[in-house]
Structure 1
């Protein structure tokens, strides 16, 4: 989409938003203007509080307007899709999904704006009903809770998703990949190459790239069969697979599997699997309103008492006490 008029971005900065995804997008837009030698993009910062929004790192960001004051860029009419609204989320994002915020987003959507989100901002879009039956992504740490809370959203684990007039980036540097994708659609690959070069962003990812590092990189071990077993564990948390079957499917004995885990990860396969399931349970506790029994079942525990016992052994607190201490 090559246009003679600047495309306009409105960044909705929710309290305790994550700075990196926001700064990645706005810096890419600035560099696009610089590289082109003219204003291709304009932007403003708005927030529910109207004066300052605070990042999760404590930094205050001065806003251009509150949600009630949106005159900003001038009074001239713009084509549908020329306006882009990006919700920047972070810590405790559920608390930021207030009625004024949700209603404002719905109004922007009805006005023809492209609606997007970075990091946990997708949670607010989903609360507003703007991601129903749409493709989207969210940070991997929030994926399980989001999937449970919003079953009507077609959730992906890719770094970003472009679903027409809905755009989402998972967080971190994925926002750079998303905005470079949009700039490429607007003004071509040559401009994007210049921007990426300036940002030292040497590997531009596509919407087919996964958010997380590969299993060998994450665990610091390059062993094909170990990676295969861990991948199966991560894909089967709700209904755990026995070590014997994991070993057999990987073409080894249970004893060999045990030695493999002890050698490279200093724990048994059973313990590693348990820690992975408990990590999922902790995310669900912090990010959803699921009952304890629902969290337990979703993490592969058939008994709430067994779940509570294992959870306390791992985290030093019962799931009942820990609920409410964190956010999405």
Structure 2
């Protein structure tokens, strides 16, 4: 795209600087989406509206989860008070969060620096105590484990959340939505809309939008009563609701509910519910240090033996072996 095709806006006297803090295995899409929004905004100014640097522990280089390695501009150094920090993380966020990183974030937070987290980086911020008493979001795959570990944080399922000078996003393209909001706050909606247009970003989401697809879209079936039952199942994992009560709540008999699940999902309501519970259990085993017994209880199993039996039948391994294989992968 040529410069002639862009809209010129007046640049601010002083550029706003973003410090992208990259952790190993960070998600490339979240980082690239945020950075490119700033780059495109700059193309529409007569000067530079934004500056950015890449920061990380050691100040040398960091490797993304997709494989490419990025050279860093700086180590964990003292920042300017008007800087905005955006932590970029991804898979294995627990093992990639070091004590030095946490201490550095706490120090910068005490100095009043605005701090945000992309993708799974809400976990880093919460471990540093930066989200206590605040609203936040995180990638849906990490939602259950985060909620179990950080009950002092008001966790939402929003695409992004801005609570004072703390910002969190749900991963993927949600970093673009956050940056468009920040650009709009800094320079007006028109500038943000031009950036979105150049990114071929046709729908700008707000903090009122949720990150996951709707139940009908996810399961590929548009049946209101089936969707309602699945939503109730997803909201009641720790204390499962019986099929008879689920059926009654949507105005049908248990037999009708059975036929509905068989027709559209080729499984019984009981089987589908069990798969939801086991999926949550696997997330907790892979992403937290919760004991297997506590994982079982959090997913509605009355006994560890029943949990282990169901888990093995579905995943062909035991919860203990799953936990052990995860520990082995993280230590490699």
Relative to structure 1, the CA distance from residue 325 to residue 131 in structure 2 (aligned partners, 3 Å threshold; closer, same or farther) is farther
Q: CA deviation at 1:110?
A: 2.0
Q: CA deviation at 1:49?
A: 3.4
Let me know the Cα RMSD of the aligned residues.
Answer: 1.5
Deviations 1:88-120 (A, max 9, x none): 011111112211101111122122210100011
2:17 to 8, 13, 18: 8
Q: CA deviation at 1:289?
A: 1.4
Task: Name the structure 1 match of 2:264.
Answer: 264
Deviations 1:167-200 (A, max 9, x none): 0111000000011011111000000010000001
Q: What is the alpha-carbon distance in structure 1 between the residues aligned to residue 15 and residue 325 of structure 2?
A: 43
Confirm or deny that 1:23 pairs with 2:28.
no
Q: What is the alpha-carbon distance in structure 1 between the residues aligned to residue 12 and residue 271 of structure 2?
A: 57
Q: CA deviation at 1:3?
A: 4.9
Q: What is the alpha-carbon distance in structure 1 between the residues aligned to residue 62 and residue 312 of structure 2?
A: 36
Confirm or deny that 1:64 pairs with 2:86.
no
Q: What is the alpha-carbon distance in structure 2 between the residues aligned to residue 86 and residue 324 of structure 1?
A: 32
Task: Name the structure 1 match of 2:307.
Answer: 307
Task: Name the structure 2 match of 1:99.
Answer: 99
Q: What is the alpha-carbon distance in structure 1 between the residues aligned to residue 152 and residue 325 of structure 2?
A: 27
Relative to structure 1, the CA distance from residue 262 to residue 309 in structure 2 (aligned partners, 3 Å threshold; closer, same or farther) is same
Q: What is the alpha-carbon distance in structure 2 between the residues aligned to residue 96 and residue 205 of structure 1?
A: 30
Most deviating of 284-293 and 116-125: 284-293
Secondary structure of residue in 1 paired with 2:21: strand
Task: Name the structure 1 match of 2:47.
Answer: 38
Deviations 1:28-72 (A, max 9, x none): 00001111232111000011132111111111111112225x68x
Stretches of 4+ aligned residues off by more than 4 angstroms: none
Q: CA deviation at 1:4?
A: 2.3
Q: Are the equivalent residues in 2 in contact too, given 1:158–1:211 (CA < 8 A)?
A: yes
Task: Name the structure 1 match of 2:137.
Answer: 137
Q: Are the equivalent residues in 2 in contact too, given 1:92–1:326 (CA < 8 A)?
A: no
1:55 to 64, 85, 93: 64
Task: Name the structure 1 match of 2:125.
Answer: 125
Q: What is the alpha-carbon distance in structure 1 between the residues aligned to residue 174 and residue 87 of structure 2?
A: 14
List alignment gaps of at least 5 residues for structure 2. Answer: 1-10
Task: Name the structure 1 match of 2:152.
Answer: 152
Task: Name the structure 1 match of 2:321.
Answer: 321
Secondary structure of residue in 2 paired with 1:9: strand
Which of the pair has the greater relative contact order for Cα pairs under 8 Å at 6+ separation?
1
TM-score by length of 2: 0.93
Deviations 1:267-314 (A, max 9, x none): 110000000000001111111111111111110101110000100111
List alignment gaps of at least 5 residues for structure 1. Answer: 72-77
Q: Are the equivalent residues in 2 in contact too, given 1:136–1:155 (CA < 8 A)?
A: yes
Deviations 1:149-183 (A, max 9, x none): 11111111100000010001110000000110111
